[in-house]
Amino acid sequence: MPNKLFITNNMITASLNNLPEMNTVILDTFFPKRKNNESPYLAKLDLENTIKNMPAIRKNGKSILRAGGAIGATLIEPQEISFHDYISDADENRLRALGSGAIQSYLDGQVASARESVRYSAEALAAQGLVNGKIDYMIQTETGYVRYEVDFAAERAKYVMSKNWNSAKLSEISLDAVKISSAIRKNGGRGQIVFGCGSEVFATLADLVSSSKGKNMGSYIKGTEIFINGFKFVLVSDVYYDRDASGKEIVKDILGEKDIVASAVETNLFTYSSIDDKKASFKAMPLFIKNVDGEDGEGQKIKYKSKPFPLPNLRASYKATVLS
């Protein structure tokens, strides 16, 4: 008969309630819309539609078929992020000796670090989708690592710059931003358009804005954001961790140092799909935690599960290398 679990559901709930806010640049900037998807599948249909104004009809006329209104969705099955902590009987004995406050404090730390791991995994997936146009992520199997691939296969907005930004004036960069935004809107974008900048691009813009002393194009710097003529340029200098087939860790830049990516952010969607677990009632949530007995009733496992997946609207985006 299994032992009474040392870590209880009430303790896990308390730890979740104690979590501070966590921010990451791609999710916070480019995926403001979030959705719990109560299904193991997702459809790309919503992003493949271009939302436009519609013509009126004459009185008593027939309604018009909205473009993309026919059902022909491509289904995607997001893969689960799942890992666990193990508390041995010896660890439990030591923690019990320290009292309930120490136990809760220990659990708070474990849950907080697990939430960070899930968030950074979601950030990596979002970055791959938006910047690379496809998911190419690691999946661990019993024999090693294989690839988890989803190609969004959408054509980005097009615009050819007359020159690189190494020698461009602030007014020329502002004009590029105007034309890029126009190309995105013509390709189905709407709402705010934000520019993500690699580290060298951001430094170049910062130098230009600083030398202008804020007088040109209404430009100014605010932390890791630069504003030029009403356009927002955000520093994207983070990395994520990948693995090759042997399990060797590889560090990858989210965005190239000389690159930009622009996106109509309100057209992107980030989802959390239903968890493959009866104890979660197969519900969708950003993070599910459960406690179970260890092997042969020895110790206890705290399991963490999530099914994050991005749906970037690549048609409402633009990517280019702007520095030589």
Q: What is the pLDDT along the chain (324 residues), one digit of tens a residue?
A: 344 567 888 999 999 998 988 999 999 999 999 999 999 998 766 555 555 555 555 655 555 445 544 444 568 889 999 999 999 989 889 988 998 888 999 999 999 999 999 999 999 999 999 999 999 998 887 777 888 888 987 899 999 998 999 999 999 999 999 999 999 999 999 999 999 999 999 999 999 999 876 566 689 999 999 999 999 999 999 999 998 888 889 999 999 999 999 999 999 999 999 999 999 999 999 999 998 887 777 888 999 999 999 999 999 999 999 999
Q: How high is the pLDDT of residue 278?
A: 95
| Number of structural domains in the chain | 2
Query: How high is the pLDDT of residue 163?
Result: 94
Give the phi and the psi of residue 117 in degrees, each rounded to 5. Answer: -60, -45
Is the domain of 90 the same as that of 216? no
**Same domain flag for 22 and 109:** yes
Instruction: Specify the pTM.
Output: 0.88
Return d(Cα 151, Cα 141) in angstroms, integer.
Answer: 22
**Helix, strand or coil, per DSSP, at residue 27:** helix
The answer to whether position 159 is within a domain reads: no
Residues 147 and 292 in one domain: yes
**CB under 8 A, 24+ apart: contacts of 205-210:** 205/165, 205/173, 205/233, 208/169, 208/170, 208/173, 209/170
In this structure, the strands spanning 225-228 and 259-264 are unpaired
Q: What is the pLDDT of residue 1?
A: 39
Which residues constitute the domain of residue 97?
Answer: 9-49+75-152+271-309
SS3 184: helix
The verdict on 219 and 278 lying in the same domain is no
102 and 241 belong to one structural domain: no
